[in-house]
Amino acid sequence: MNNDYNFKNYIMSAVKDLGFKEFTDIQKRVFYNIKSNKNILAKSKTGSGKTHAFLLPIFNDLDPKVNQVFATIVAPTKELAQQIYKMAQHIASFSPDTINIKLFVSGTDRDREIEKLKNNIPHIVIGTPGKIKDLAIDENILKIYTSKYLVIDEVDMAFDGGYLEDLDAISGVLNNSRFMFFSATISDSIMPFIKKYMTNVELIDLENVNDTKIDHIWIPLKHKEKGELLLDLIKTINPYLCIVFVNKKEAVNDVLSLLLNNGYKAVALHGDLSSRERKRVLTDLNNLKYQFLVATDLASRGIDIEGVSHIINYDLPVNYEFYIHRSGRTGRMYNDGIVYSFYDELNDEYLDNLNKKGIKPKYYEIKNKELIEYKGRNTRSNRVKPQTNYAKEAAKFIPKDKKVKPGYKKKRQAQIDDLAQRLKRNDMKKKKRRYS
C-alpha cells in the first residue's frame, strides 16, 4: 500500500499487519480533509472503516513525549468503546515510544480509576459519554481539556441512547478542540447539537457509496407461521454466521428456543445480560462458536462481529433507519452481505425512504426449498394505482327494476351519472384535506 498520506512508519506497519490492501472511501476523504483546519462531520454507513479513519490521523499527529491528553474519543456503548480501544492498542503496539491509552466505561472500579489518574495521564482517552463526564467534569480528575481532537463516534446512536446532556458537557469543555463527528445517519434531532459546536465544518457524505454489495431480499408471510418460515429459510440458505433481528425483547427467547430445539447453535443478546455475559457472547461469536445470534436493535447497536454473512429481519423494524443500521451488520469492509426480511403489509412511505437510501428490495418466496421470484408483488416502477370507476360503483347503489317501463334505462343512467359525480367530488375533497 502506498503511503500517500505521509503516515509515520510504525502506523504503516500497523496498517500492513491489518492486511489492508487499500484505504476505504471514508478513510481517504478524512485523511485528505485532515490537512485543513476544519471540523469534520462524516456520514457513512456502518462497517465502512470509520474507526481507522479517525485513529490513524490522531496517532500520526500525536507526540508521545508530551505528557497530556491529546485526543478524547467518545462512543455511545461500552462494546463500541472496547472495540475502538482494541484497535487503538493494536496501532500503539507498533510505536517505538510508549503511547498511553485508557478505556473508561461502566462496570469498573471508579475509586481505583480516580486514584490512578492522579499520577497517570493518558495520551488517548476512549470511553462512554457518562463515564467520561463523570471523571472529567464531575470529578475533574481526567484532564481532557488539553485534547487537540474530540471524536464522537456514532452520534445518532448516542442521541438515541439519551446522552445529549453528557455530550453537551464534554463538547463544552473541549470547544477549542478539533471536532470529528461520525454517524451512519444524520437526523433532524441531532442537527441543533451539531450546529452548536461545529462551525467551519467539512461535511463528508458517503452514505450511499457502495464499498460492498448487500442484497435485500423480502419474503411475504402470506399467512404462514413466522417461525416455520424462518426454519424454511435457514434450511434454504444455510448461513455462515447470521443475526436474526426481532423488535421486542420478549421475542428473543422465543426465537432462540425455536432455533435451539431444531438443533442450531444459537445465542441471544439482550439488555438483561451482564457486561461480562455480553462480552463472552461477542467473543464466542467471533470465534464462530455459534451460527446464529438473536437480538433486538437496542442490544445490538454498536457491536462489531466479524464475518456476518446474513441478516434476517424476523420482524421488520418500524423505523426505516433501524433497517439501515441492521443491514450494516453485514457486508463490512468490502465483503458482500445479504439481508432477508419477512413482511406482511408494506408501507409505501417506508419503501420510498429506503429507496432514497439506495436500497431497492427484491421480492422472493420459498418453494420446494428454493428461493424463487415472487410474482405477487409488483415492482415499484410499474405498480400503478387503479383508477376508480365511479359509474360502476354508483350502479351498485341503484338496483334494476324487475318491471322495465318506457324510458327506464335513460332515467336509471341519469341517476347513475349523478351519483357517480357526487362520489368523485367526495373523493376529491378527501384527497384535498389529506394533503392540505
Q: How many CB atoms lie within 10 A of CB 269?
A: 23
Q: Does residue 336 surpass a pLDDT of 90?
A: no
Share of the chain above pLDDT 90, in %: 42
Class in CATH terms, 9-206:
alpha beta
**What is the pTM for the complete model shown?**
0.62
> Do 359 and 327 contact (CB within 8 A), yes or no?
yes
Distance from C-alpha of 102 to C-alpha of 104, rounded to nearest angstrom: 7
Share of the chain above pLDDT 70, in %: 86
For 398-414, what is the mean pLDDT? 68
In CATH terms, the superfamily for domain 214-373 is P-loop containing nucleotide triphosphate hydrolases (3.40.50.300)
Residue type, 118: K
- What are the distances in angstroms from CA 307 to CA 77, 331, 333, 336? 21, 8, 10, 10
Residue type, 127: G
For 285-309, what is the mean pLDDT? 81
Give CA 341 to chain center in angstroms.
Answer: 16
Q: Does residue 210 surpass a pLDDT of 70?
A: no
For 197-206, what is the mean pLDDT? 82
For 68-80, what is the mean pLDDT? 93
Q: Does residue 430 surpass a pLDDT of 60?
A: no
Q: What is the pLDDT of residue 47?
A: 65
Q: How does pLDDT run across 344-377, given as a tens digit for each residue?
A: 877 777 888 888 777 888 999 998 888 998 876 5
Q: How does pLDDT run across 375-386, given as a tens digit for each residue?
A: 765 444 434 344
- What are the distances in angstroms from CA 120 to CA 5, 68, 115, 146? 32, 9, 9, 15
Distance from C-alpha of 15 to C-alpha of 91, rounded to nearest angstrom: 8
Q: Does residue 183 surpass a pLDDT of 90?
A: no
Q: What is the pLDDT of residue 275?
A: 76
Q: Residue with C-alpha cell 438473536?
A: 294
Beta-bridge mates of residue 266: 292
Q: How does pLDDT run across 225-264, given as a tens digit for each residue?
A: 999 999 999 999 989 899 999 998 889 999 999 999 999 9
* Nearest residue to 333 via CA among 9, 10, 47: 47
* Most confident of the ranges 96-100, 189-193, 319-323: 96-100
Beta-bridge mates of residue 337: 214
Which three cell numbers mark 409?
334505462
Domain residue limits, the chain: 9-206, 214-373, 390-435
Q: Residue 155: pLDDT band by 50, 70, 90 thresholds?
A: confident
